[in-house]
């Protein structure tokens, strides 16, 4: 009998749990620890943020699904990993603190044979003074609750415009090292769409505020598409959409601090500026979950397992080297911890070896570079891959070869909504292969020109909505859920 | 303060023609694009061996 503990029930952790449970007999335990009681299809939060969906449409309670699937669920926060057990008992275990209202402030330990760290990000609003909805001056769409609040603030702004007063709406990134530029891009264009629907577009200045050096970077260094016999770039393509929709941009920006109605920021050229706003949705940078690791004697060995950012070291090449020497092979394939081979990290929890976009620093030494995205499709693929490795090792022995899923050999589809509506909706549908450029295989642009594509239209909106329906169906483990690819 | 370099880049970007904008909302064309885009995404997933 084996016991697999999964920390986190987001896209990667939940995917891993469902695949493990489906392919392992009941004599094995699958245990999920998550501080949240609900699963959230985060890509649809932007629609909650403009009032096109309710919080209930993008979330559902995890406990009933896990009960039906015979997965043990603890609504709790993991605090410590003891991969060597204790001096009395060598069985590895994790320490948890319950967030379940019925067991609040209780603690417990859970023993494991295999551990998957899928804890996702800690939203680091504290990195920029004044950022965020809790005591700050900006809103967020990182969670369904945040998005609901963003929608209320947006409605207030629209109401002011209906009374004839101009408003400046700033949407983007709250720090120079943020990731998820795609989500901010989507929210900016959905807000712009809503302003037009509300008949107040002429009274709004919509500004996309980003750490990207160029539009269309999206944290992946931009894309080159093959289109009608020409190569074109995501930069040109995105700039065209900004021009068409009258959205302005501030590029290469690091928000230094935010006061009521003003963003103080530095740009890549080292200059400092202020941007006044009436409504601002700025995403925070991410940190790891802050887990501590202890050896058998109780010594803190967290630095052996985690990078200072709080993300877990896996089978990647972490040696520092210049951008020109970055290789696709630097990226992890099996997501195993080199320190403890029965421990894995997937989704945002694993430490990427370096950015995907070219790293940039201002003359003042401020890093202004998007962190690599590793959400959505790649997260689900990693979760499934690690689940398959563990299944093989349980069934065939601990030496079974690990399954591989490097972001340098994995494609991704990114459907960025630019407005909702069955007839009037629009989205930028992009595919890229691979996610991490591989200049050895694809010398021209690092990616396959045939498989890296982008187009804007109503079909993209239908796809985005279809993905919303399909992935919630899959996450609820409805009949034949496993036929839906990650 | 707004980024003048970004403003310049956006101002120089190509604008879609009226015909392109119409195509982006035409139900027949978009129905076809829906099918082909889904197929393309599915093939890409297969190519990644997931």
The two beta strands, A262-267 and A93-98, are unpaired
pLDDT above 90 as % of chain A: 89
HSE value, Cβ hemisphere, 13 Å, CA-based, for B43: 10
- The whole-number pLDDT of residue A427 equals 92
β-pair partners for A463: none
Angle at A238 between CA A376 and CA A351, to 5 degrees: 35
Q: Is A453 on the interface with B (CB under 8 A)?
A: yes
How does residue A61 score in pLDDT terms, banded at 50, 70 and 90? very high
Residue A68 sits at the vertex; the CA angle it makes with A67 and A69, to the nearest 5 degrees, is 90
Q: Is A312 helix (H, G, I), strand (E, B) or coil?
A: strand
Tell me the pLDDT of chain A averaged across its residues: 95
> Which one of A380, A457, A483, A485 makes the best mutation probe of the B interface by having the most chain B beta carbons within 10 Å?
A457
Residue A60 structural domain:
3-123+287-396
Confidence of residue B49 (pLDDT cuts 50, 70, 90): low
Residue-wise pLDDT for A341-363, tens only, equals: 999 999 999 999 999 999 999 99
pLDDT at A375 over 80: no
Q: Find the chain B residues whose C-beta atoms sit closer than 8 A to any C-beta of A.
A: 1-3, 5-7, 9-16, 23-25, 27, 29-31, 33-34, 37-38, 40-42, 44-45, 47-50
* DSSP 8-state class, residue A263: E
Does pLDDT of A265 surpass 90? yes
From residue A169, alpha-carbon distances to A49, A150, A156, A158, B9 in Å are: 14, 12, 12, 10, 21
A177-203 as b/e, with b when 16 or more CB fall inside 10 Å? bbbbbbbbbbbbbbbbbbbbbbebbeb
CB atoms within 10 A of CB B46: 11
| ipTM of the predicted assembly exceeds 0.90 | yes
For residue A11, being part of any structural domain is answered with yes
**Separation in Å, CA A260 to CA A276, A304, A315, A411:** 9, 41, 44, 41
- What is the rounded CA–CA span in Å between residue A466 and residue A474? 12
- The string of pLDDT tens digits covering residues A107-153 is 999 999 999 999 999 999 999 999 999 999 999 999 999 999 999 99
What value does the mean pLDDT take over residues A54-67?
97
Inspect the interface and report whether the beta carbons of B40 and A431 lie closer than 8 Å.
yes
Burial class (CB in 10 A: 0-12, 13-18, 19+), A274: exposed
Tell which residue, A343, A355, A288, has the closest CA to residue A314: A343
- Pairing type for strands A72-82 and A122-123 reads unpaired
CA distance A41 to A43: 6
A438 occurs within a structural domain: no
Could you tell me which residues come within 8 angstroms of residue A482 by beta carbon, excluding any fewer than 6 positions away? A18, A19, A22
* Mean pLDDT across A211-238: 91
pTM, to two decimals: 0.94
Residue spans of the domains in chain B: they are 17-50
Cα–Cα–Cα angle for A35, A2, A91, nearest 5°?
75
The more confident residue out of A315 and B44 is A315
Q: Are A346 and A379 in contact (CB under 8 A)?
A: yes
Return residues 317-376 of A near B (CB < 8 Å): none
* pLDDT at residue number A45: 96
* Residue A328 belongs to domain with CATH number: 3.50.50.100
Identify all chain A residues contacting B24, using CB atoms and an 8 Å cutoff. 426, 456-458
- Above 90 in pLDDT, residue B45? no
What's the pLDDT at B48?
66
- Structurally, chain A folds into a number of domains equal to 1
Q: What number of helices (H) and strands (E) belong to chain A? A: 10, 24
- What is the crossing angle of helices A234-245 and A181-197, to 10°? 20
d(CA A184, CA B5): 20
């Amino acid at each position: 009998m084996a016991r697999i503990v999964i920390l986190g029930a987001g896209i990667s952790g939940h995917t891993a749990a469902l695949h493990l449970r489906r392919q392992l007999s009941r004599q094995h335990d699958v245990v999920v620890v998550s501080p949240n009681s609900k699963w959230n299809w985060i890509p649809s939060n932007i629609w909650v943020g403009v009032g096109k969906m309710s919080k209930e449409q993008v979330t559902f309670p995890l406990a009933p699904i896990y009960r039906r699937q015979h997965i043990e669920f603890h609504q709790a926060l993991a605090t410590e990993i003891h991969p060597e057990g204790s001096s009395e008992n060598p069985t590895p275990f994790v320490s948890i603190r319950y967030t379940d209202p019925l067991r609040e402030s209780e603690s417990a330990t859970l023993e494991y044979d295999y551990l998957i760290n899928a804890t996702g990000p800690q939203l680091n609003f504290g990195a920029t003074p004044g950022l965020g909805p809790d005591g700050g001056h900006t809103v967020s769409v990182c969670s369904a609750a945040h998005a609901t609040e963003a929608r209320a603030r947006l409605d207030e702004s629209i109401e002011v415009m209906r009374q004839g007063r101009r408003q400046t709406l700033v949407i983007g990134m709250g720090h120079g090292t943020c990731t998820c530029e795609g989500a901010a891009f989507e929210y900016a264009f959905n807000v712009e769409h809503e302003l037009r629907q509300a008949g107040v577009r002429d009274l709004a200045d919509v500004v996309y505020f980003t750490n990207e050096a160029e539009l269309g970077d999206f944290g992946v260094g931009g894309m080159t598409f093959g289109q009608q016999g020409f190569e074109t770039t995501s930069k040109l393509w995105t700039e065209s959409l900004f021009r068409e929709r009258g959205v302005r941009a501030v590029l290469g920006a690091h928000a230094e601090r935010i006061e009521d109605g003003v963003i103080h920021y530095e740009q890549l050229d080292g200059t400092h500026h202020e941007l006044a706003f009436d409504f601002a949705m700025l995403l925070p940078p991410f940190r790891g979950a802050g887990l501590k690791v202890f050896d058998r004697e109780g010594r803190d060995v967290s630095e052996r397992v985690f990078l200072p950012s709080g993300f877990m070291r896996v089978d990647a090449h972490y040696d520092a080297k210049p951008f020109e020497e970055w290789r696709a092979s630097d990226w992890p394939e099996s997501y195993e911890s080199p320190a403890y081979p029965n421990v894995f990290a997937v989704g945002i929890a694993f430490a990427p070896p370096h950015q995907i976009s070219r790293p940039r620093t201002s003359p003042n030494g401020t890093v202004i570079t998007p962190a690599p995205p590793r959400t959505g499709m790649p997260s689900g693929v990693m979760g499934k891959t690690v689940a398959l490795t563990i299944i093989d090792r349980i069934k065939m022995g601990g030496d079974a070869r690990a399954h591989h899923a490097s972001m340098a050999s994995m494609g991704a589809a990114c459907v960025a909504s630019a407005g909702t509506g069955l007839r009037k909706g629009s989205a930028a549908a992009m595919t890229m292969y691979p996610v991490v450029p591989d200049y050895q295989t694809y010398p021209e642009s690092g990616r396959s020109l045939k498989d890296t594509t982008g187009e804007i239209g109503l079909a993209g909106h239908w796809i985005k909505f279809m993905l919303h329906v399909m992935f919630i169906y899959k996450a609820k483990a409805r009949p034949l859920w496993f036929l839906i690819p990650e | 303060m707004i980024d003048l370099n970004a403003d310049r880049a956006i101002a120089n970007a190509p604008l879609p023609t009226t015909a392109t904008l119409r195509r982006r909302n035409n139900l027949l064309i978009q129905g076809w694009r829906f099918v082909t885009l889904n197929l393309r995404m599915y093939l890409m997933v297969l190519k990644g061996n997931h």
